[in-house]
């Protein structure tokens, strides 16, 4: 491979890295602004925290909609999740988990979009979890 080709590939990789970093920070800024706008309109909003992660078995919790509207998400030093208003809320969420497989490298299982109602109180934060044994979403005060 010639020196010019190596420089070209290096330049392309550098541009891709710069683009990825800039996109990441722009996305975080947009997410923060959406959260600030939501809190300005609804100062009594509550936070519903979700947990994602893992190493061997990974799990992902996603709140898609709250009361028919796409959820306003947050991500800060306390965790990540979505905002909701006090009172009865209709939540559409999805939970999926991935584990090592026998015949395949990994096996992913998903609940699909699931709709359920929750009662939330002002001034409190909540944690959304999924019980695999009962195959149900649960929400508890944090």
Phi and psi angles of residue 35, each rounded to the nearest 5 degrees, phi first: -65, -40
Q: In the structure, what pLDDT confidence band is assigned to residue 1 with cuts at 50, 70 and 90?
A: low
Q: Are residue 72 and residue 128 in the same domain, yes or no?
A: yes
Q: Are residue 60 and residue 6 in the same domain, yes or no?
A: no
pTM given for the model: 0.80
Adjacent-strand bridge partners of 136: 131
Q: Are residue 61 and residue 125 in the same domain, yes or no?
A: yes
Q: Are residue 34 and residue 78 in the same domain, yes or no?
A: no
Q: In the structure, what pLDDT confidence band is assigned to residue 48 with cuts at 50, 70 and 90?
A: very high
Q: Which of 91, 84, 89 is nearest to 38 (CA)?
A: 84
Q: Are residue 74 and residue 31 in the same domain, yes or no?
A: no
Dist CA 36 CA 74 (whole Å): 9
pLDDT-above-90 percentage for the chain = 67
Q: Are residue 6 and residue 19 in the same domain, yes or no?
A: yes
Q: Are residue 24 and residue 52 in the same domain, yes or no?
A: no
* Averaged pLDDT of the chain: 91
Q: Are residue 71 and residue 88 in the same domain, yes or no?
A: yes
Dist CA 89 CA 69 (whole Å): 11
What are the pLDDT digits (tens) for 56-111?
A: 788 999 999 999 999 999 988 888 999 999 999 999 999 999 989 888 889 999 99
Q: How many residues does the chain have?
A: 142
Residue 45, C-beta contacts closer than 8 angstroms, at least 6 positions apart: 38, 39, 83, 84, 85, 86
Q: Are residue 50 and residue 64 in the same domain, yes or no?
A: yes
Q: Are residue 37 and residue 48 in the same domain, yes or no?
A: no
| Domain interval for residue 116 | 44-141
How many structural domains does the chain have? 2
Q: In the structure, what pLDDT confidence band is assigned to residue 29 with cuts at 50, 70 and 90?
A: confident
Q: Are residue 35 and residue 17 in the same domain, yes or no?
A: yes
């Amino acid at each position: 491979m010639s020196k010019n080709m190596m420089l070209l590939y290096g330049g392309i990789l550098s541009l891709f890295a710069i683009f990825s970093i800039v996109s990441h920070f722009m996305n975080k800024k947009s997410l923060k602004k959406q959260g600030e706008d939501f809190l300005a309109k609804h100062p009594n909003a509550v936070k519903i925290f979700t947990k994602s992660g893992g190493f061997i078995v990974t799990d992902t919790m996603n709140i898609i909609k709250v009361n028919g509207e796409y959820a306003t998400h947050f991500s800060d030093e306390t965790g990540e999740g979505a905002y909701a208003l006090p009172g009865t809320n209709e939540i559409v969420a999805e939970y999926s988990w991935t584990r090592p497989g026998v015949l395949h490298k990994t096996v992913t299982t998903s609940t699909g979009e699931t709709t359920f109602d929750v009662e939330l109180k002002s001034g409190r934060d909540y944690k959304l979890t999924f019980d695999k044994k009962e195959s149900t979403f649960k929400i508890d005060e944090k």
